[in-house]
């Protein structure tokens, strides 16, 4: 195990040195354009329902877990705001689509609000006005030659389903399959890219932290792992549903979107830190990727080993990490048409010796690490967002080696600031991360097929409210009209996508 970790860590360090050498040896990075990517490469931008739509209780929409959390506990949001109106994209979607077209993106990724089309979470009540809204949005995109990429679940579970346990209750898989079936029937003839679940790792955190919906701490009972287990089962069920009933007639692609940082050992010469960095990769990305993308399936062996051992030490009769049936392992394995990847930043990892401590059972503590950032790394407005472009290339290569180079569609990548129109920090971020992506694609032969920027609009940034802005379009949240204004980064993207001189 140590030898494997050392080899992987040496390769990570080599990746950084190669990237830095590329930067020093030429000025090509400053002249990169979309035309230097493969012709079939897909360029897009993204949003999510709760963050932009607003109309939280309009036209028959039901309550979701973020509605409930921010209305009952407004203090969990930095500025005590919510997504009740947000960008008001429910009413302004045509303007948003026009902006996407103006900048030149080919793909618009958005999510369906489960509770907007199924207010109770189940198909006993179908809200036709909600269904029609998404039909209108999809038609508007297609009329402007923009391809919709639709996420079924981006964190906004209908509250009635949370009332019966949410993602910790195995019955949720049946409800999710019924919801997906309705979506495929209603929109599938016009949608060619589907994402089942966005960032299941972050969905897990809602069952560990009070600051993200549903705001429960179930770690000691294994609620995080139970959530992960049911998310994976739900993804597999929906993928196989599409494969069996819809693929032949609709011809679309289905996958899941996973988020990951690049993990570097804080002390590159420390075997313990090297092993710790790889351990974080396996827990935070491998937990979801290994069952789907590996040749053997199931959870990563190191994750299974550690959680089982810790559970036994805690005196439990069973592991906090549930087990798949043999059939579930086979159904999960290969349940993808591409690798959806969200990436923003990187971290430094240090091994943490917990043998002499009383450690509370949790997903975080099972990893036995401390994480930090290099003080030399520039920072975005979000405290966690450090600008480490070389990490992007390292992560893409890790996926290539670990999972036999699957087709990767980067479904989110972006930078936060205060919302200024002259957003040079965002332009610098995109410039460097796109250069790193290009090196991974061209030099390293990573099979990257598309890139979707986060985000087209400033929006409700979860517990940060409106204090952190990710958009290339400014939204005035003090205005009832939610006035939009293009930022300098929107011009940057238009130049990158349209003009040969690039950036």
The residues assigned a catalytic role are 199, 412
SS3 245: helix
Q: What separation in angstroms does the CA of 152 have from each of 64, 191, 255?
A: 14, 12, 11
Residue 369 host element (H or E): strand 369-372
What is the C-alpha to C-alpha distance for residues 414 and 457, in angstroms, rounded to an integer?
11
**Helix (H), strand (E) at residue 256:** strand 253-259
Contact in structure between 471 and 459 (CB atoms under 8 Å):
yes
d(CA 421, CA 487): 4
How many C-beta neighbours within 10 Å does residue 503 have? 18
How far does CA 182 lie from the centroid of its chain?
23
Beta carbons of 412 and 452 less than 8 angstroms apart: yes
**DSSP-derived 3-state class of residue 489:** helix
Q: How many Å apart are CA 433 and CA 340, to the nearest integer?
A: 17
Q: Please give the Cα distance from 353 to 421 (Å, whole number).
A: 46
Helix (H, G, I), strand (E, B) or coil at 46: strand
- Contact present, 123 and 114 (Cβ < 8 Å): no
The CA–CA distances, whole Å, from 222 to 226, 311, 411 equal: 6, 9, 29
**Torsions phi, psi for 46 (to 5 deg):** -140, 155
3-state secondary structure of 110: strand
Greatest alpha-carbon pair distance for the chain in Å reads: 64
User: Concatenated DSSP letters for 167-232?
Assistant: GGSTTHHHHHHHHHHHHHHHHTTT--EEEEEE-HHHHHHTTT-TTSTT----GGGTHHHHHHHHHH
From residue 91, how far is each of 40, 45, 85, 173 by CA, in Å? 33, 19, 10, 32
CA distances 175 to 124, 257, 336, Å, are: 11, 20, 21
Closest by Cα among 251, 240, 446 to 336: 240
């Amino acid at each position: 195990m140590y030898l494997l970790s050392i080899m992987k860590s040496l390769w990570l360090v080599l990746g950084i040195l190669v990237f830095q050498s590329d930067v020093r040896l030429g000025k090509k990075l400053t002249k990169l354009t979309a035309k230097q990517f493969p012709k079939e490469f897909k360029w897009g931008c993204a949003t999510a329902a709760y963050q932009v739509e607003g109309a939280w209780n309009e036209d028959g929409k039901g309550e979701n877990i973020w509605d409930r959390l921010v209305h009952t506990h407004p203090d969990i949001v930095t500025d005590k705001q919510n997504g009740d109106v947000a960008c008001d994209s429910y009413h302004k979607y045509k303007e948003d689509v026009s902006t996407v077209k103006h900048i030149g993106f080919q793909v618009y990724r958005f999510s369906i609000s489960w509770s907007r089309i199924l207010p109770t979470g189940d198909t006993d009540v179908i809200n036709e006005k909600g269904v029609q809204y998404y039909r209108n949005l999809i038609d508007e995109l297609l009329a402007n030659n923009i391809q919709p990429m639709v996420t079924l679940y981006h964190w906004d579970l209908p509250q009635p389903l949370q009332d019966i346990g949410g993602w910790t209750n195995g019955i949720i898989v049946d409800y999710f399959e019924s919801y997906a079936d309705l979506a495929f029937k209603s929109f599938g003839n016009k949608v060619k890219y589907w994402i089942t679940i966005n960032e299941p790792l972050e969905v897990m955190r809602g069952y560990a932290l009070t600051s993200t919906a549903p705001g429960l701490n179930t770690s000691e009972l294994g609620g995080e792992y139970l959530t992960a287990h049911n998310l994976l089962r739900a993804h597999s069920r929906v993928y196989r549903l599409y494969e069996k009933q819809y693929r032949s007639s609709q011809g679309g692609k289905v996958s899941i979107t996973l988020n990951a940082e690049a993990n570097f050992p804080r002390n590159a010469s420390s075997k313990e830190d090297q092993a710790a960095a790889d351990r974080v990769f396996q827990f935070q990305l491998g937990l979801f990727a290994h069952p789907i993308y590996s040749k053997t399936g199931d959870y990563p062996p190191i994750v299974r080993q550690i959680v089982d051992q810790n559970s036994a030490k805690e005196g439990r009769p069973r592991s906090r990490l549930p087990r798949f049936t043999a059939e579930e392992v086979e159904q999960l394995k290969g349940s993808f048409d591409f690798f959806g990847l969200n990436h923003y930043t990187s971290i430094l990892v240090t091994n943490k010796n917990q043998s002499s401590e009383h450690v509370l059972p949790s997903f975080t503590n099972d990893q036995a690490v401390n994480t930090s950032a290099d003080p030399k790394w520039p920072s975005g407005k979000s405290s966690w967002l450090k600008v480490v472009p070389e990490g992007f290339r390292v992560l893409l290569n890790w996926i290539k080696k670990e999972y036999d180079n699957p087709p990767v569609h980067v479904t989110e990548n972006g930078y936060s600031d205060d919302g200024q129109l002259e957003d040079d920090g965002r332009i610098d971020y995109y410039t460097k991360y796109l250069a790193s992506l290009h090196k991974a694609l061209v030099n390293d032969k990573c099979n990257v097929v598309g890139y979707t920027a986060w985000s087209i609009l400033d929006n409700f940034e979860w517990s940060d409210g409106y204090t952190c802005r990710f958009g290339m379009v400014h939204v005035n949240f003090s205005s009832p009209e939610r006035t939009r204004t293009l930022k300098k980064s929107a011009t940057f993207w238009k130049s990158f996508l349209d003009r040969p001189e690039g950036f």
